[in-house]
């Protein structure tokens, strides 16, 4: 499995905790693949049948919780917004 090529994904999901490093790595790779070709299906962005099956297994995994994904995303938004200055 190739490393994710999108630095923003690493930053956006830095606090992601599925309690499985393998699952977190798969999630980030999937997000990287999808972000490169968002108009395509999981099947097409995965590059092969076995990779697509791995994505679908990840989605079905009980450790891959949407609440954890949203929480990590919100934390990243908080960090970005704290770095911005507000002009009066």
Determine the structural domain holding residue 73 and report its residue range.
7-83
User: For 46-74, how does the pLDDT look when each residue is reduced to its tens digit (9 = 90+)?
Assistant: 989 999 999 999 999 999 999 999 999 99
In a domain, 63, yes or no: yes
pTM recorded for the entire structure: 0.81
pLDDT band with cut points at 50, 70 and 90 for residue 5: low
In a domain, 65, yes or no: yes
In a domain, 30, yes or no: yes
CA 48 to centroid of chain Cα atoms = 19
Under 8 Å between Cβ of 45 and 33: yes
Closest CA to 25 of 4, 54, 46, 49: 4
User: For 23-40, how does the pLDDT look when each residue is reduced to its tens digit (9 = 90+)?
Assistant: 999 999 999 999 999 999
In a domain, 20, yes or no: yes
Q: C-alpha angle with apex 71: 68 to 75, nearest 5 degrees?
A: 140
In a domain, 1, yes or no: no
In a domain, 54, yes or no: yes
């Amino acid at each position: 499995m190739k490393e994710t090529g999108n630095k923003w994904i690493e930053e956006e999901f830095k606090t992601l905790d599925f309690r499985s490093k393998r699952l977190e790595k798969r999630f980030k790779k999937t997000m990287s693949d999808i972000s490169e070709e968002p108009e395509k299906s999981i099947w097409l962005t995965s590059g092969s049948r076995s990779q697509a099956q791995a994505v679908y297994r990840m989605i079905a995994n009980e450790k891959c919780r949407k609440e954890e994904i949203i929480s990590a995303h919100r934390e990243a938004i908080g960090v970005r917004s704290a770095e911005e200055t507000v002009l009066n």
